[in-house]
Amino acid sequence: MRHQYGSVEVITGSMFCGKTEELIRRLRRATIAKQKVQVFKPVIDDRYSYSKVRSHSGADFEAFPVNTSGEILEKLDPTATVVGIDEAQFFDDGIVDVVSALAERDLRVIVTGLDTDFRGEPFGCMPTLMAKADKLDKLSAICMVCGEPASRTQRLVNGSPAHYDDPIVIVGASEMYEARCRRCHSVPRK
């Protein structure tokens, strides 16, 4: 079933806040509604599965791994009516135009991504996607230090906070990252 008009939904927040879980929930509902769903993820995100988006809790959904944002348009199934894009912060800047092009084709586009990097600064394309979204959901996790709502992603190196000048992109999960609140988030050498 085609949509009358396109839309862009962005689900964002820190690691462990449930972004991918919420993406999968929306994709499953679209499937129940007999909508044709297609999901894409960056090749770099191979934490749990190469050809699935998978939440930290284990829920998953089939996905096409792609190297660049342009490949999304190349591999798009012409019968798709809902497009999911996981971990958008890892894509090149062209992802913003790709998402807009999909919505202009009257597709429902659901995008997830970290809003900030481990330093607490805006991450890649996400600020622009958030600004252009028709619907924006910013989720929070639980701070692993104090138990308060967490809006930051803390990278750990040998159990200590990563330094400001460490590389921005290092793919990992609970072995390298924690959710932290603003007060407990720490970035040495900032």
Task: Tell me how far CA of residue 121 lies from CA of 103, 112, 114, 136, in angstroms.
Answer: 27, 17, 10, 19
Looking at residue 55, what is its pLDDT?
Answer: 77
The two structure tokens encoding residue 84: 């999911």
Strand partners for 133: none
For residue 127, tell me if it sits in a domain.
yes
- What range does the domain containing 80 cover? 7-139
What residues act catalytically?
87
For residue 116, tell me if it sits in a domain.
yes
User: Tens digit of pLDDT per residue, the chain (190 long)?
Assistant: 667 899 999 999 999 999 999 999 999 999 999 999 999 999 987 666 667 788 777 777 889 999 999 999 999 999 999 999 999 999 999 999 999 999 999 999 999 999 999 999 999 999 999 999 999 999 999 999 999 999 999 999 888 999 999 888 877 665 789 999 999 999 998 7
Structural domains counted in the chain = 1
- Cα angle 43-44-45, degrees, rounded to a multiple of 5: 90
Looking at residue 170, what is its pLDDT?
Answer: 78
Looking at residue 174, what is its pLDDT?
Answer: 59
Looking at residue 20, what is its pLDDT?
Answer: 93
For residue 151, tell me if it sits in a domain.
no
For residue 160, tell me if it sits in a domain.
no
Give the CATH number of the domain where residue 31 resides. 3.40.50.300
For residue 35, tell me if it sits in a domain.
yes
For residue 147, tell me if it sits in a domain.
no
pTM: 0.92
Looking at residue 6, what is its pLDDT?
Answer: 96
For residue 181, tell me if it sits in a domain.
no
Looking at residue 140, what is its pLDDT?
Answer: 97
For residue 60, tell me if it sits in a domain.
yes
d(CA 143, CA 60): 25
Looking at residue 171, what is its pLDDT?
Answer: 72
